[in-house]
């Protein structure tokens, strides 16, 4: 059973933020901007100086792996290190019925053997600029929150486009401190990415779902890719060297990556929304999908291969969401949070009002605008084609943000990626989501569903309708997608493709849900949190870190074990011998059965080689694939998970038991050389 054990410290923290008390940063807490690093904190606690040169080198060695997670350059020839589970989608897409790369692993013996990954791009951060004044310049106090947000969005679109036109880099404006600051990030893009090496799934995720979020762990959750430029391995100036001395208990280490989202500045009402609406609804979807995907996979090995990526993602999200919800459902937490009535027209009251709207509209927004009622790749492609046609006819500043000029290259990279899409999986997923539509539509639309149902075929069962839509749609063919995209509005409007027609019929309804949610929830909350952030700035300035927003951050910590609730000491570093011992105690039953290559190669391995380790670094989802770095700027490990106590990191970091879990650098080299015969790659690491 998963329990995230909130501590008294967490309770006090939440209570204080809900009272708008400004708190200093404590312990090894924080996901810090590279522009405003924790130099003082690191110096005072560990005696290490974060120099501008060290920070620049680490920053430009760090990579965003598409929209999935983090990564880093680990050689001058474009070698990229990330997690096996972050790259699993590419392994899935490159697999065939004859060769399942997730099951069998992969190693390219030469450059020519490295496999191109269609649709994959990596983003390397190369610049950052504070544009807060520019973004806010046109927004006046007399404007409503909705009007002010439209003005800001137009400025953001202009800033991104102007910067991109000038430098040919990709630019994104990111909101920080809940609207208290805006920063323009510039990224160099590599979109010719090839798979180099990945171990078998059974060692990458040894222990499977039972060990997920647990520790000790024994996972080689690592895969290697390579960036190419002009058909040749990219020449990289900034890359991380490889640690050869290992790391010791108590040693200072850093994590450089792209944490997705934290909610440490939320008000009491916002946390209640997460507890009462967001997490229960998310789990409701995840539970049903896990059952359906598992049943499909159990029918045959080929089904298992086809559904593996979807199922793995659902299981991981489900377990994380359970832990976070259980933390928010802890009665002692809420007993210690004072409940006060917000002052009239205060930021807290504006947030409360926005959340009252969200309570009645979030599920509809999620199902119709975010597409949860039509869960299939085929629908996503069709909607993208429809919106691409109509949005690109508008001025750049008036488009949906996904279709602004600065985002179009990435969007088209995804849209035209020639990756396998399986009809039986598509029918399965769409049938389930249409069944869900029939079950809960009345919950979402409050008895007014008749006026909304014209966009679906009510004469067919969910399975019949899903089958008709999937089998008769041609948008899974890349050539057809390109033809429709080139034809613009006319090609979309007069298409006889049933999924295109569904997306067209749904569009005005979906846009209305989006407009209502953005105007009544997102815009006023952005403005209100910006007011709270301003108060915080006046007190502490940038001596505090902003919530995570999938931008590059630096966290610091130390190699350190911890005590379980029963007082058991947990060692900070595991070994290869420990993995084989755990497998033996579990009688080598799945998921505790290492692959044949490891069992056959056991005598070659040094049993004392460090395997996984835990550190006090502050991480969250999105940090997967981040390098664990020592003070020399070398790879000491590869972040792949947090322990069960870290599930509360969304809301509060606690150093007592919360731990970041990483693959040790030594076991990666040991495996490359002695199990996979990959000396070519082992020799390249860090050079």
DSSP string, 514-579: HHHHIIIIIHHHHHHHHHHHHHHHHHHGGGSPPPP-SS-EEEEEEB--EE-TTS-EE-SEEEHHHH
| Residue 503 confidence (pLDDT) above 90 | yes
SS3 of 594, please? coil
Write down the pLDDT at residue 510: 93
Distance in Å from the first CA to the final CA of the chain: 44
In this model, does residue 144 exceed pLDDT 80? Answer: yes
Confidence of residue 335 (pLDDT cuts 50, 70, 90): confident
pLDDT value for 398:
92
Tell me the C-alpha distance between 303 and 297, whole Å.
5
pLDDT per residue over 542-596, tens digit each?
A: 678 989 999 999 999 999 999 998 999 999 999 999 999 999 999 999 999 999 9
Q: Candidates 2.40.10.120, 3.40.50.720, 3.30.830.10, 3.30.300.30; correct CATH number of 8-121+191-263+547-684?
A: 2.40.10.120
**What is the per-residue pLDDT for 452?**
56
Alpha-carbon distance 187 to 123, whole Å? 6
Q: How far is CA 426 from CA 414, 469, 471, 482, in A?
A: 18, 10, 10, 21
pLDDT on residue 382: 98
Q: How confident is the model at residue 13 (pLDDT cuts 50, 70, 90)?
A: very low
Phi, psi of 140 (to 5 degrees): -105, 160
> In whole angstroms, how far apart are CA 183 and each of 51, 119, 126, 266?
22, 27, 13, 21
Q: Tell me which DSSP letter residue 83 carries.
A: -
Please identify which residue in the block is written with the tokens 């069960």.
644
The Cα 144–Cα 118 span in angstroms is 44
Share of the chain above pLDDT 70, in %: 94
pTM of the predicted model as reported, rounded to 2 decimal places: 0.89
Mean pLDDT of 20-36: 73
- Residue 76: the pLDDT is 98
Q: What tokens were used for 226? A: 């390579």
Structure tokens at 580: 């084989």
**Which sign does the torsion angle of CA 593, 596, 598, 600 carry?**
positive
Interval 443-460 mean pLDDT: 64
Q: Nearest 10 degrees: CA dihedral of 411, 416, 421, 427? A: 60
Q: What is the pLDDT of residue 283?
A: 97
- Contact of 657 with 5, CB cutoff 8 Å: yes
Structure tokens given for 134: 């520019």
Question: Is the peptide bond preceding residue 216 cis, with omega within 30 degrees of 0?
Answer: yes
Work out the mean pLDDT of the chain and round it to a whole number: 91
In this prediction, residue 326 has a pLDDT band, given cuts at 50, 70 and 90, of confident
The domain segmentation of the chain, as residue ranges, is 8-121+191-263+547-684, 329-535
Local structure of residue 114 (DSSP, 8 states)? P
8 Å CB contact between 28 and 616: yes
pLDDT of residue 19: 36
Among residues 39, 136, 144, the alpha carbon closest in space to that of 533 is found at 136
Residue 365: predicted pLDDT = 95
Task: Check pLDDT > 50 for residue 49.
Answer: yes
Higher pLDDT, 19 or 43: 43
Region 466-491: what's the mean pLDDT? 97
Within 8 A by CB and 6+ apart from 437, the residues are 367, 373, 456, 462
d(CA 502, CA 37): 49
β-bridge mates for residue 241, sequence order = 634
Q: Which of 279-293, 616-630, 637-651 has the weakest average pLDDT? A: 637-651
* Main-chain dihedrals φ then ψ at residue 139, nearest 5 degrees: -90, 120
Residue identified by tokens 């709207």 is: 357
C-alpha–C-alpha distance, residues 456 and 474, integer Å: 19
Average pLDDT over residues 376-385: 98
Question: What pLDDT is attached to residue 9?
Answer: 32
pLDDT at 232 over 90: yes
User: What is the mean predicted confidence (pLDDT) over 482-510?
Assistant: 96
Report yes or no: 618 and 544 within 8 Å, Cβ to Cβ.
Answer: no
How many CB atoms lie under 10 A from the CB of residue 48? 14
Structure tokens belonging to residue 280? 């229960």
Tokens of 600: 């056959």
Band of pLDDT at residue 177, cut at 50, 70 and 90: confident
Residue 249 and residue 557 in contact, taking contact as beta carbons nearer than 8 Å? no
Q: Is residue 197 helix, strand or coil?
A: strand
Decide: 394 and 405 in contact? Cβ < 8 Å: no
Dihedral of alpha carbons 511, 515, 521, 527, sign: positive
Bridge partners (DSSP) listed for residue 253: 557
602 or 146, higher pLDDT:
602
85-103 tens-digit pLDDT: 999 999 999 999 999 999 9
Please say if the pLDDT value at position 339 is more than 90. Answer: no
pLDDT band at 446 (very low <50, low <70, confident <90, very high): low
What pLDDT score does 246 carry? 81
pLDDT at 450 over 60: no
Measured between alpha carbons, how far is 67 from 473 in angstroms, rounded to an integer?
A: 27
Q: How do beta strands 115-116 and 32-33 pair? A: unpaired
Residues 6+ apart with CB under 8 A from 12: 336
Cβ atoms of 575 and 607 within 8 Å: the answer is yes
């Amino acid at each position: 059973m998963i329990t995230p054990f909130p501590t008294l410290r967490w309770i006090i923290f939440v209570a204080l933020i809900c009272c708008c008390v400004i708190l200093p940063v404590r312990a090894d807490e924080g996901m810090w901007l590279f522009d405003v690093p924790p130099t003082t904190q690191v110096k005072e606690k560990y005696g290490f100086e974060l120099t501008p040169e060290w920070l620049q080198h680490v920053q430009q060695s760090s990579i965003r792996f598409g929209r999935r997670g983090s990564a880093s350059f680990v050689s001058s020839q474009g070698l990229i290190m990330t997690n096996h589970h972050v790259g699993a989608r590419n392994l899935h897409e490159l697999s065939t019925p004859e060769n399942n790369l997730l099951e069998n692993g992969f190693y390219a013996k030469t450059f020519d053997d490295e496999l191109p990954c269609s649709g994959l791009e990596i983003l390397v951060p190369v610049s950052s600029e504070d544009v807060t004044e520019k973004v806010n310049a046109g927004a006046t106090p007399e404007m409503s929150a909705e009007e002010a947000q439209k003005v800001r969005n137009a400025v953001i679109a202009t800033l991104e486009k102007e910067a991109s036109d000038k430098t040919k880099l990709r630019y994104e404006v990111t909101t920080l401190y809940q609207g208290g600051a805006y920063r323009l990030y510039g990224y160099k893009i590599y979109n010719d990415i090839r798979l180099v090496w990945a171990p078998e799934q059974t060692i990458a995720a040894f222990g499977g779902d039972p060990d997920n979020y647990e520790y000790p762990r024994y996972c080689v959750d690592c895969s290697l890719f390579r960036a190419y430029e002009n058909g040749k391995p990219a020449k990289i100036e900034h890359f991380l060297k490889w640690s050869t001395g290992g790391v010791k208990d108590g040693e200072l280490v850093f994590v450089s990556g792209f944490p997705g989202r934290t909610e440490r500045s939320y008000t009491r009402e916002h946390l209640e929304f997460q507890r009462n609406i967001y997490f229960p609804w998310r789990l409701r979807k995840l539970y049903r999908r896990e059952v359906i995907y598992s049943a499909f996979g159990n029918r045959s090995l080929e089904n298992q291969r086809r559904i593996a990526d979807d199922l793995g993602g659902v299981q991981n999200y489900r377990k994380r969401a359970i832990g976070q919800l259980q933390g928010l459902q802890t009665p002692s937490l809420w007993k210690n949070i004072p409940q006060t009535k917000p002052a009239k027209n205060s930021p807290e009251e504006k947030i409360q009002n926005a959340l009252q709207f969200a309570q009645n509209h979030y599920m509809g927004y999620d199902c119709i605008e975010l597409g949860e009622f039509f869960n299939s790749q085929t629908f996503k492609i069709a909607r993208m084609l429809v919106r691409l046609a109509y949005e690109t006819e508008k001025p750049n500043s008036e488009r949906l943000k996904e279709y602004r000029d600065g985002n179009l290259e990435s969007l088209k990279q995804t849209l035209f990626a020639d990756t396998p899409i399986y009809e039986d999986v598509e029918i399965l997923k769409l049938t389930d989501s249409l069944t869900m539509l029939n079950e809960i539509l009345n919950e979402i639309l409050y008895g007014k569903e008749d006026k909304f149902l014209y966009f679906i075929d009510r004469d067919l069962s969910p399975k019949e309708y899903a089958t008709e839509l999937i089998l008769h749609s041609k948008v899974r063919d890349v050539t057809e997608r390109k033809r429709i995209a080139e034809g613009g509005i006319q090609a979309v409007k007069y298409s006889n493709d049933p999924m295109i027609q569904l997306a067209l019929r749904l569009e005005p309804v979906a846009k209305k849900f989006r407009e209502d949610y953005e105007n009544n929830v997102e815009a006023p909350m952005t403005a209100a949190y910006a007011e709270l952030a301003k108060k915080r700035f006046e007190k502490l300035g940038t001596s505090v870190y902003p919530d995570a927003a999938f931008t590059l951050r630096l966290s610091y910590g130390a190699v350190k074990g911890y005590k379980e609730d029963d007082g058991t000491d947990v060692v900070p570093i595991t070994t290869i011998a420990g993995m084989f011992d755990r497998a033996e105690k579990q009688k080598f039953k799945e998921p505790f059965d290492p692959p044949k290559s490891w069992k056959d190669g056991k005598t070659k391995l040094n049993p004392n080689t460090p395997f996984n380790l835990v550190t006090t670094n502050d991480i969250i989802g999105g940090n997967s694939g981040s390098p664990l770095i020592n003070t020399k700027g070398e790879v000491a490990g590869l972040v792949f998970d947090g322990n069960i106590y870290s599930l509360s990191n969304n809301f509060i970091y606690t150093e007592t038991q919360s731990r970041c879990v990483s693959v040790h650098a030594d076991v990666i080299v040991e495996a490359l050389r002695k199990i996979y015969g990959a000396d070519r790659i082992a020799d390249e690491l860090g050079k």
